[in-house]
Amino acid sequence: MMLRSLALALALCLTVLPNAQAQSLAAKVDYVGTSRHITVTGLMRRDVNGFINLVIELTNSDYDDQEGYYRLTWVDDAGFPVWEEEAWKPVLLHGSEKKTVLVAAPTNRATDFKIVFSGERNWADLPGSRP
């Protein structure tokens, strides 16, 4: 009985204690405009030898091919950039495709990041056509 109580208490502690690196996906992605068809639907992070490694999942909700562009901002604990601004990287998703993009931080001074994403077709491009 005591072992069962201890296990239950441990499980409650694990679910209540916040994870310092656990943040919502919305907090990590800035959309330029409102992408009509491509969205960031998943994100995994792993630190390897002091470098941030990311797996970013993109999803095309349309049946047609869609192109988007992304770049990352790498920052330190205080939120200051630790690397120069990256160029936009193109990504093509075929109809209803999910694609994973692998990214590694260019410096071990980066302790956090922000993904900046823009779809080729944004709601902002079509006046009066927002959902």
Total domains in the fold of the chain: 1
pLDDT value for 52: 97
Asked whether residue 89 is domain-assigned, the answer is yes
Looking up residue 117, the CATH number of its domain turns out to be 2.60.40.3230
Asked whether residue 131 is domain-assigned, the answer is no
pLDDT value for 115: 96
What does the pLDDT profile of the chain (131 residues) look like in tens digits?
544 443 434 343 333 323 334 578 889 999 987 788 999 999 999 999 999 999 999 999 999 999 999 999 999 999 999 999 999 999 999 999 999 999 999 999 999 999 999 987 665 544 444 44
Q: Would you say 119 and 64 are in contact if contact means Cβ atoms under 8 Å apart?
A: no
Asked whether residue 105 is domain-assigned, the answer is yes
Q: Would you say 97 and 68 are in contact if contact means Cβ atoms under 8 Å apart?
A: no
pLDDT value for 36: 85
pLDDT value for 127: 47
Query: Helices (H), strands (E): how many in the chain?
Result: 2, 7
Geometric angle at alpha carbon 11, from 10 and 14, rounded to 5°? 85
Per-residue burial over 9-41, b = 16 or more CB atoms within 10 Å of its CB, e = otherwise = eeeeeeeeeeeeeeeeeeebbebbeebbbbbbe
Helices (H), ranges, the chain: 2-16, 25-28
Asked whether residue 58 is domain-assigned, the answer is yes
pLDDT value for 6: 39
Asked whether residue 59 is domain-assigned, the answer is yes
Domain residue limits at 100: 26-125
d(CA 24, CA 6): 30
Report CA torsion sign: 20, 24, 27, 28.
Answer: positive
What is the side-by-side order of every strand in the sheet holding 112-119? 29-31, 112-119, 66-75, 89-93
Q: What is the pTM of this model?
A: 0.75
Asked whether residue 11 is domain-assigned, the answer is no
pLDDT value for 120: 78
Asked whether residue 74 is domain-assigned, the answer is yes
Asked whether residue 18 is domain-assigned, the answer is no
